[in-house]
Structure 1
Amino acid sequence: MSLLQQRRLLALLRNPFGNGVRIVELSDDHLRVKRRDSIASVSLRSLKRPPALRKGILGTVVTMRLEDQDDVVLNGADPLAARLFSEEVKEAWVRFNLSVLDKEAARLERILAAVNALGAPLRYAAACQMAPLLEEARGLDASLLSKLQDEAIGPEMVARIAPVRKFVADPRTARAKGIAAFVTAELERWNEFFDTIESKPLTPEQRLSVVVDEDATLVLAGAGSGKTSVITAKAAYLVKAGIRQPEEILLLAFAKNAAEEMSERVEARSGGPVVARTFHAIAYDVIGIVEGSKPALADHATDDLAFTNLIKQILKDLVHRLSDVSKAIIQWFAHFLVEPKTEWEFKTKHEFYTHMEAQDLRTLQGEKVKSYEELQIANWLYENGVAYEYEPLYEHKIPKTGRRDYQPDFRLTESGIYIEHFGVRRHKMADGRERLVTAPFVDRDEYLAGMEWKRQIHAENETNLIETYSYERQEGRLLTGLAEKLAPYVTLNPLPANTIYDRIVELKQVDDFSKLLGTFLRKFKSGGYTLDDCEAKSESMTLGRRARAFLDVFAPVFAEYQKRLGGRIDFEDMILRAARYVETGRYVSPFRHILVDEFQDISQSRARLLKALKAQHPDVRIFAVGDDWQSIFRFAGSDIHLMRHFGEEFGGNFDGQTGVHRTVDLGRTFRSIDQIAFAARTFVLRNPAQIEKKIVPAGAATEPAIRIVTVSKGEDEQRLSSVLEAIATKLEGRSQPESVLLLGRYRYLEPDMRGLKHDFPQLRISFKTIHASKGLEADHVILLNADSGRTGFPSEIVDDPLLSLVSPEEEAFQNAEERRVMYVAMTRARHTLTILASKARPSSFVTELRNDPAYGIAAALGAEAKAYLCGKCGGRLLGVTGKDGRIWYRCEHVQHCGNLLPACPSCGTALPRRAGRTTEALCDCGAGYSNCPECSDGWLVERSGRYGQFLGCVRYPACLGKIRVSVPKGRISKVDTKP
């Protein structure tokens, strides 16, 4: 033991109150610090550096700097004693540090070896491997290395531990450098393997995807980029490199045939039996291992038609059996089948009309109506046994007023009561008065004048008129109010639920609803949702009464469905039951590498199973190959959110960073030439939510590769034959036939295949729906019926908003999935893509492709109808041929707008249009006509009346615009105004 103390007299003078350090003793690896009233023990580990000596007035001052404590300062020491004591403390301090370091030598050497190995690693530095190393290195650094002083351990030891300390200080950079070094070396080591694993050498991007081995790796495999080659090479590489045994690798595919093909290819190339399975197959195996046997599979599990028919049967049985449920079902079909949007939710007539047409507002009686509120009224009348006519001609002839013949909204056939529904709401003014207002795009004054005119007509002719208003629905009393108004005139006779349901079946409304229920049911089960979840989400999304009405039907349907399963299971049960067994450890997974094909099609339930398998062992890797641009099976439960947020869902953790993953973009396509590949890429990326990928095309086009062919009504077969004839002609003299794939958005579009194959034997012609064509390719692709409309392309039978209740993320971009369907269609083609579209009603996709120079589309074949806008609603004016063979232009919104114009009298084909602020409507043929002063679309032509000649609007009698002027020769024309 060695000690140092103050000299007594000097200590008394220096510290008369006795609060300072009086004695410091060195005992083994501790310092004992004595003050007048206390003794403290300080470990040499806390000493930051050797004691420092400074000459003071009353003696030597000895200062010992401590870690996280007040310095120990002894004043008034004897100079010689202070120097000797300081040297002893320094020697003890160095000995202590080296001894502590020596105790951790094995641990240090292990960590140091692992850190140094990052300079030339033999394995990919995945987060799951590096995280334990970082944790151990940080523990050693915190407990020892950070406390060691350079002066205590010497420069050699400082240099030795420096790599560990550097790794701890910046682990992300160290890992990144290690990965880069490994990838470079590994690509070189396995160069011959990559050259020979497939019939053609792998591309640089494919090679990179094989050697990258992050916790979660996402390979973006665009159309025709060779994703199967990548998965095959990855599995073979893992086995040949000794990274995994075949039984530790799980290959997952969505379709049985894809799994079988993958298994054969991998075994042939790796020499080991790496078995590919579908998600359902592995789930079934898990259940069998845990339960000892596999439960029977429901008959409808593999048959979508049988599944939909089961839902239809359940609906029918519930209507006949349970009165409360039957009431809920009838209420749904009568009042909530379509999304209840009104005029006030749209800025323009065109938007409103387009929405209404997409909804197919068909009443229980069978007619199409013009608004959701009219639909409610019509169905209430039908439910209550009140016979009615929709928009009948008024029973009294109205004198010529320039209006169309008066057609009230409804006439009750027994009582003769008329019902007019007025689209007005009440708005409270600042002064407290109420004012009737119309939708944003409706002329309020004109509409209110029309209301007064109708009231006047009924008053003059002494017919009974019942009025209903939009504000009544807004206030929740439209139908109760109607019942009160009709009570004096009508006796209600409600129809039995069975009768109404039979009518619904006749209208084929049950088919689509059964599909909606089926899709909802599968997503409900696979996502693990509850009815409470759906109700809560409905409230947060403000889906309102329609969602409540749907859930009132779904709940008993779901309960009955589960009951009818009995002891059998469906695919949703299969996946979820297996996931639970894996999550709870009842099944122990042997898999360390999980390779997933077609990852864009993954659902929530499949993702849950995947996460459970990954979580069982810390070193499990997920290798996912897919293309979010080809995610087109949302109706079957696929959830694009899982791929777009791949890292968050499946990634690892390292250095406080979550969602660690790696993305590799294959980029290169072996299928489509540049014009097709680039146009398809531009098209799909109009949706900013799609993951951006580069594209390297298979080759360069020497002539236009994409054509749009316009088709007049009834010309479909002729136009298709013309396109096939053109393809066949170019093949003359060639020995090898070329493939032609006909694609349709719907199965019913399949043409006469036997006749086409007979007429064009030199072509290998086939037909597929676009969804069924995924994974296929052909030399030439012809897309059929790219028209607008409910069953056009893009399909206007959009996903019902109710599906958002069982979907984690909604896509905000309009026609998001349909745009991806179009991308799939375009990228089936190697050399040419031909799109057949209606001349009068081309789809919005065709219009976009044709009008945007970015796509580089060749000019359309055949005469193309020029686009004219309707001045009344903003829709399109479409050319139609009248009974007399002449051309007329009619608004696309026939039911709602009714705008009709004759073609130019001079050329008989084009339509005169107003040019800027001029007073004339000019035609492309050069003819000009004076603008109508009353309407925005019409122009004036010569007419004869009681008072001689005048200029009248071509839209007469819909428009009464006219001018009494002398007519300059050659500037007017007589026309027949009857189409």
Structure 2
Amino acid sequence: MKFRLRGHSYPQLQHYLEIHWVNTHKARLLSSVRAIEQLLQHRYLSVRHWAATRAVVAELAKYWSGWKSHTQMHRVLQQAQCTVNELNAWQEEDLAQFREAFVQSQLSRYEAFFDTVCGHPMTQAQRRACVVQDERQLLLAGAGTGKTSVMVAKAAYLLHSKQAEAEQVLMLAYGKEAADEMQQRLKDSKVTVECATFHSLGLGIIAQVEGHKPKLSALCLNDGARERFIADTLASLCQDPQYQRDLLALLKNEFSATQQSQGPDLGSHAATKLIRQFSEALSFYKQALFLGKAQALSQEFALWTTCFRPVLADYQLYLQKEQCIDFDDMITRAIDYVRRGQFCSPWHYVLVDEFQDISPLRARLVKALLAQNDKNALFAVGDDWQAIYRFSGGDVSMTTHFADHFGQATIQQLDMTFRYSQQLLDIASEFVCQNPNQLVKRVNASNVATSPALVARPDSNDALSTTIEAFLDLTAEPCSLLILARNHKFLPSSEEISSLAQRFPRVRITALTFHGAKGKEADFSLLLGLHQGSVPARAHNAAITEALLPESELYPDAEERRLFYVALTRARLQTCLLVPEEPSPFIEEVLALATEL
């Protein structure tokens, strides 16, 4: 725009130009400041929102921060200019103070909601986990801290505060049992959002894209059938003399099998072990192929991959002929469909339970879903102290180095356990944190023990009965008992459990492995089979299996230590360790901590 001004002094010209400049730019200033104030009032100032706000403020500040007008600007303009100047000067502490003020405001506004959403008042830490809404958010939730309640309340809060519609929220659980429990809890809280396992999510994506739900292969549901298929495949492949020589060499190198002139005996002990190894490797090798890690394996394990790849090819051909898929296909095919835009994700908010067990492949699916929407958010709930599934692909580094994998994040903790006493909490926490790579958490117990929370008894023929009698002396009410062991072979038989149940009708008895006890709780727990060499387990994976799994940790027995922590933290009233003649070093360590603490 051009215009002419004649017959005016310099101050008058400056005055007119300033008026013109203000009138030209004030609309953008006012609209931008209005939008920023709306955001600051109604949304948590997340990493993405603050970055966008800071960019707008920095641009406005170029024109308005140094403005020294002789013109009397309207009060609204002056206020907008002050807002820009203030925000442009914010440091990290100012940002933290503003966020805290917003959190306190929301906690006050939704106090009645958080008192009733899960049927009982939530703790302050639980409420804060719901109110804070960053694009990447990790909630560290120790054993018995009410993580499921937070997952349900978080979804309910997003809907109740009108930050999301029900169809924009997806909740993911590790297994079907956990998903079913989550769905029931959502139903009880009158929250209608989608809750799925990773596999059911993948299956749903595939069904939507392909127009029908694919059939699941019988081979991935039956270990025996899969191993028979591999044995038949090997027999067929051995018709090729070169393959036969390679297989014989592999059996000799890996399992010290004796050389046979008539070809390999596929019923031998060595061949059976190889067949089982191939069966377990099918899933992990397919994942390695998808993740781009198979080439390195082929170089390091040349003979193994030479023998395995034809088996995998035959397995894939079988799936094609039968027009079915396996569990890995559920995830990889879904990822491909999401990445190519053939499936459009309706979810803005993805809430993931048991995040410490997530595998790199499942993480890829989560990232692919988030990448489809600019307004995406990931709320991950997990406990690195309970990461016990590396053998099935779980990668604890996804939790311990969350921001490295998913971007800048807010990390919070639940600080109260409702399951066991402070005494057991202190012992178990100190025990698991002997590994310096575990994330340190400050957790308190809601109840005080009236009797020792951890006791030890000699392992003997009548140890089960005498221990149950001791438990019953602590309560006159019907109670529950978990009998736990590292391996099935140390657990009592179903007949023994039935006999104990008849003898002690007040006690509901369940026998589980340490892994099976994850997520379970009871009034009492009894740990047995705690022999040296059994706990921690000393079985070592084959080198190829180790290479296929997520990278192992440097700290000795890191996952076995977490597994023992899981076993220790199942009982509300008392945990008993049955001590054999040659006890596990974990027993000695735990009892020493009990004495010190």
Q: What TM-score comes out, normalization by structure 2 length? A: 0.90
Q: Which amino acid aligns with 1:704?
A: P
Partner Cα distance (2:112, 2:24) in 1: 47
**CA offset digits 1:302-339 (Å, max 9, x no partner):** 44555555555544554x434333333332332234xx
SS state at 2:577 partner? strand
**CA offset digits 1:208-243 (Å, max 9, x no partner):** 111111101111111111111111111111112222
Q: Which amino acid aligns with 1:100?
A: W
> 2:338 pairs with 546, 567, 582, which one?
582
Q: CA deviation at 1:642?
A: 1.2
Distance 1:804 1:730, change over 3 A: closer
Once the two structures are superposed, the pairs formed by residues 435-474 of structure 1 within 5 Å of their partners are none
> 1:513 pairs with 272, 277, 282, which one?
277
Partner Cα distance (1:333, 1:579) in 2: 36
> 1:207 pairs with 118, 127, 130, which one?
127
Partner Cα distance (2:207, 2:243) in 1: 38
Q: Which amino acid aligns with 2:292?
A: Y
Distance 1:253 1:821, change over 3 A: same
Alignment correspondent of 2:594: 855
Tell me: higher relative CO, structure 1 or 2? Use CA pairs within 8 A at least 6 residues apart: 2
Distance 1:97 1:239, change over 3 A: same
Q: Which amino acid aligns with 1:687?
A: N
Kept after mapping to 2: 8 A contact 1:522/1:637: no
**CA offset digits 1:25-76 (Å, max 9, x no partner):** xx9699xxxxxxxxxxxxxxxxxxxxxxxxxxxxxxxxxxxxxxxxxxxxxx
> 1:102 pairs with 2, 16, 23, which one?
23
**CA offset digits 1:704-753 (Å, max 9, x no partner):** 22223343xxx4x433333223223444xx2x221111112122222122
Counterpart check, 1:136 vs 2:56: yes
Q: CA deviation at 1:564?
A: 2.1
Mean CA deviation greater in 808-817 or 160-169:
160-169
Counterpart check, 1:296 vs 2:215: yes
Distance 1:510 1:125, change over 3 A: same
> 1:797 pairs with 530, 535, 539, which one?
539
Distance 1:570 1:516, change over 3 A: closer
Mean CA deviation greater in 87-96 or 205-214:
87-96
Partner Cα distance (1:635, 1:519) in 2: 12
Partner Cα distance (1:269, 1:624) in 2: 20
> 1:753 pairs with 488, 497, 502, which one?
497
Counterpart check, 1:531 vs 2:294: yes
Alignment correspondent of 2:96: 176
Alignment correspondent of 2:434: 686
Partner Cα distance (2:351, 2:33) in 1: 33
Counterpart check, 1:496 vs 2:262: yes
Q: CA deviation at 1:782?
A: 1.0
Partner Cα distance (2:45, 2:580) in 1: 56
Distance 1:163 1:233, change over 3 A: same
SS state at 2:187 partner? helix
Q: Which amino acid aligns with 2:31?
A: R
Q: CA deviation at 1:505?
A: 4.8
Count residues with an aligned counterpart: 589
Q: Which amino acid aligns with 1:618?
A: D
SS state at 1:771 partner? coil
Alignment correspondent of 1:705: 453
> 1:813 pairs with 534, 550, 555, which one?
555
- Where structure 1 has 5 or more consecutive residues not aligned to the other structure, the ranges are 1-26, 31-83, 338-362, 365-381, 384-493, 539-546, 651-658, 859-979
Alignment correspondent of 2:45: 125
Q: CA deviation at 1:611?
A: 0.9
Once the two structures are superposed, the pairs formed by residues 704-853 of structure 1 within 5 Å of their partners are 704-711=452-459, 715=460, 717-731=461-475, 734=476, 736-751=477-492, 752-789=496-533, 792-807=534-549, 809-839=551-581, 841-850=582-591, 852=592
Q: Which amino acid aligns with 1:563?
A: L
Counterpart check, 1:321 vs 2:85: no
Partner Cα distance (1:91, 1:301) in 2: 85
Distance 1:695 1:520, change over 3 A: same
Kept after mapping to 2: 8 A contact 1:707/1:833: yes
**CA offset digits 1:786-813 (Å, max 9, x no partner):** 1122xx1111113444345345533111
SS state at 1:708 partner? strand
Counterpart check, 1:624 vs 2:545: no
SS state at 2:510 partner? strand
Counterpart check, 1:553 vs 2:307: yes
Q: Which amino acid aligns with 1:580?
A: D
> 1:219 pairs with 107, 121, 139, which one?
139
Q: What TM-score comes out, normalization by structure 1 length? A: 0.56
Alignment correspondent of 1:600: 356
SS state at 1:121 partner? helix
Kept after mapping to 1: 8 A contact 2:278/2:308: no
Alignment correspondent of 1:258: 178
**CA offset digits 1:577-633 (Å, max 9, x no partner):** 111211222211111111111111111121111111111112111111111111111
**CA offset digits 1:104-159 (Å, max 9, x no partner):** 322211222244457x62221222333333333333334x336x542566787666
Kept after mapping to 1: 8 A contact 2:358/2:394: yes
Partner Cα distance (1:534, 1:162) in 2: 61
Distance 1:309 1:724, change over 3 A: farther
Kept after mapping to 2: 8 A contact 1:94/1:152: yes
Q: CA deviation at 1:559?
A: 2.1
Alignment correspondent of 1:342: none
Greater helix content? 2
Q: Which amino acid aligns with 1:621?
A: A
Q: CA deviation at 1:267?
A: 3.2
Distance 1:838 1:268, change over 3 A: closer
Distance 1:589 1:195, change over 3 A: same
Mean CA deviation greater in 768-777 or 170-179:
170-179
Mean CA deviation greater in 824-833 or 841-850:
841-850
Partner Cα distance (2:70, 2:513) in 1: 77
Distance 1:495 1:758, change over 3 A: farther
> 1:277 pairs with 169, 179, 196, which one?
196
> 1:661 pairs with 403, 409, 415, which one?
409
Partner Cα distance (2:221, 2:410) in 1: 35
Distance 1:689 1:113, change over 3 A: same
Kept after mapping to 1: 8 A contact 2:18/2:69: no
Kept after mapping to 2: 8 A contact 1:198/1:229: yes
SS state at 1:700 partner? coil
Alignment correspondent of 1:867: none
Kept after mapping to 2: 8 A contact 1:121/1:181: no
Kept after mapping to 2: 8 A contact 1:295/1:568: yes
Q: Give the % identical residues.
A: 32
SS state at 2:41 partner? coil
Distance 1:797 1:240, change over 3 A: same
Q: Which amino acid aligns with 1:669?
A: T
Partner Cα distance (1:212, 1:787) in 2: 46
Partner Cα distance (2:232, 2:145) in 1: 44
Kept after mapping to 2: 8 A contact 1:519/1:637: no
Distance 1:145 1:327, change over 3 A: farther
Distance 1:190 1:108, change over 3 A: same
Distance 1:253 1:111, change over 3 A: same
Counterpart check, 1:164 vs 2:84: yes
Greater strand content? 1
Distance 1:313 1:574, change over 3 A: same
Kept after mapping to 1: 8 A contact 2:126/2:414: yes
